[in-house]
Amino acid sequence: MTANPFHYGTPVEGVRFTGRERELEALLSRMRNGVNVVLLSPRRYGKTSLLLRAEAELRRGVRPAALVKANVLRSRDLATLVAQLTASAYHVPGGRWHRARQAVPEFLRRLRLRPTVTFDDQGKPAFAFEADLASPDADDVIADLYGLLDEEVGSRPAVLVLDEFQAITAHGAHLPDLLKALADAHPRVSLVVAGSRRHLMERLVTAEGAPLYGMAQKVALGPIPDEVMAAFLRERAAAGARPMGEDAARLTLALAGPVPNDIQHLAYEAFELAGRRIDGAAVLRGLDQAVAHEASAYAEIFAGRPPGQRRVLVALAAGLAQPVFSAAFARAVGLAGSNSVKRAVDALEAEEIVTLRDGRPAVADPFFAAWLRPAAGHEPVD
């Protein structure tokens, strides 16, 4: 059986990565030259995939970059975050501490607070700190790791990457200020903070008065151009020995775009259901299947919203012609006025159920939008 050439749900690498050459070039240039970066992206636009591709590029060559990274959102507490950073620093290729016969002891001597070290069956070390790690001690470790990166500058680029940075204050309200101070103290190290929650990232980095305001250059991810994405779909489909016609590629983009993850999701389902070729009928069957897979989750989301928000969701999915914040739209969804519509939209946007596209609110998940439409075979309106 031919393997499905499309991938969704997790970051993509290798031949599954496409359409971000301009952003990749901008990111790499800054990382190689000690420039701080804020990478902004709506969810599922490929932010982490771009970071992985940049890391792969920086690891190439005789002197690969010294890169330390952590996913802030996946750290359950401050101790876990610091342990992530410590392990990443230890495994930097060619680090100065690896020149010692006993690499782990040499590495630990560079930290003011020593973690607990355990070894697996292959002798690979794992680092851990006490769950109640205090902020001053954690700050010392982060500062020491920053200093380790600074030592590497001169012979190669040095980079600290914090993905899902919008969650940083959950581990300490002071951490953005600490990172700002460390970035100022080590200007040759590139600090890259990446996030997908626009409002939170604005408060931390881009809005005037934010802790990191003015210290990082912005790289923002938007939709991949349709012609690029359509060519990618056809190329991947051909690689899977089920060619996709131009019309089918365009239909996939129209139904699932503009989020790359959603486009690949629909293409995946269409590939599974297609015969020898992926045609428009296979794409439509793929849409039905994608909706069916998540129908119970969509029903739960919908049932959990207040009645006014439900009616707004149905109207957005249906694509009503009236401007969303007009009196006509408010009447159509049974709300008192435009202020009531705005409150409903703001609440849905805060939960990432609704997003802004071309300045207009839209249901973020195209498969949820399809479920909401009357053609989905249910009656979601109260």
Query: Which one is predicted more confidently, 59 or 341?
Result: 341
Query: Which one is predicted more confidently, 362 or 199?
Result: 362
3 state DSSP class of 159: strand
pLDDT tens digits, residue range 252-297? 999 999 999 999 999 999 999 999 999 999 999 999 999 999 999 9
Confidence of residue 213 (pLDDT cuts 50, 70, 90): very high
Q: CA-to-CA distance for 165 and 179, rounded, in angstroms?
A: 11
What are the helix and strand counts (H, E) for the chain? 15, 9
**Quick one: tokens of 271?**
């590939």
Beta strand 360-363 with 354-357 is antiparallel
pLDDT at 360: 93
pLDDT tens digits, residue range 239-262? 999 999 999 999 999 999 999 999
Report the mean per-residue pLDDT for the chain.
Answer: 92
Total length of the chain: 382
Q: CA-to-CA distance for 200 and 343, rounded, in angstroms?
A: 18
In DSSP notation, 278-291 reads B-HHHHHHHHHHHH
3 state DSSP class of 237: helix
Which residue type occupies 297?
A
Q: CA-to-CA distance for 91 and 363, rounded, in angstroms?
A: 42
Kindly state the average pLDDT of the residues 145-152: 95
Kindly state the average pLDDT of the residues 337-342: 96
Q: How far is CA 317 from the centre of its chain?
A: 24
Whether residue 193 contacts residue 38, with contact meaning beta carbons closer than 8 Å, is answered with yes
Domain boundaries, the chain: 20-220, 226-376
Whether residue 191 contacts residue 36, with contact meaning beta carbons closer than 8 Å, is answered with yes
**Quick one: tokens of 153?**
């500058």
Kindly state the average pLDDT of the residues 163-179: 95
φ, ψ at 321 (rounded to 5°):
-70, -25
pLDDT at 228: 95
Q: CA-to-CA distance for 3 and 93, rounded, in angstroms?
A: 34
Whether residue 160 contacts residue 69, with contact meaning beta carbons closer than 8 Å, is answered with yes
> Which range among 15-19, 113-117, 124-128, 232-236 shows the weakest confidence by mean pLDDT?
15-19
| Short-list 368, 364, 307, 357, CA closest to 335 | 307
Confidence of residue 231 (pLDDT cuts 50, 70, 90): very high
State how far the alpha carbon of 260 is from the alpha carbons of 273, 335, 371, in Å: 20, 34, 20
**Quick one: tokens of 350?**
């805060």
Kindly state the average pLDDT of the residues 346-372: 94
pLDDT at 97: 81
pLDDT at 375: 46
Q: Which CATH superfamily is domain 20-220 in?
A: P-loop containing nucleotide triphosphate hydrolases (3.40.50.300)
With residue 163 as reference, give the H or E element that holds it. Answer: strand 158-163
pTM for the model: 0.85
Q: CA-to-CA distance for 100 and 240, rounded, in angstroms?
A: 48
